Amino acid sequence: MPGYWAFSFGAAALPTMALRLVERGPTGPIEFAAPVLFLAANAIIAMLVAKTLQLLVQGKLIPPVAASSTAAAAPVKTAARIARVQ
């Protein structure tokens, strides 16, 4: 669900634009579409909030950290191989 939050900007921007057009005066079809777009945007964002909270309660919102193996966690020993000029 976290990836779907990217759509919330567009869902909020569209009705905002329509409402700003309506506040400047009657604009025909936009006048009737603005309240519908406003309600739809609020429903979309409410659904995102609900699903995100559901994932949080279920413990699935943030994936668990992968357990590292002992071989990967062990430090790598390297010998110093610097040529010495005498």
Provide the domain count of the chain: 1
Assess whether pLDDT exceeds 60 at residue 26: yes
Residue 83 lies in a domain: no
How many CB atoms lie under 10 A from the CB of residue 34? 21
CA gap 6, 44 in Å, rounded? 12
Give the domain range for residue 54: 2-58
Tell me the whole-structure pTM to 2 decimals. Answer: 0.66
Residue 57 pLDDT > 80: yes
Is 27 part of any domain? Answer: yes
**Within-domain flag for 7:** yes
In a domain, 14, yes or no: yes
User: What is the distance between the alpha carbons of residues 16 and 84, in angstroms, rounded to a whole number?
Assistant: 71
In a domain, 10, yes or no: yes
Residue 86 lies in a domain: no
Question: What is the predicted pLDDT for the residue at 9?
Answer: 93
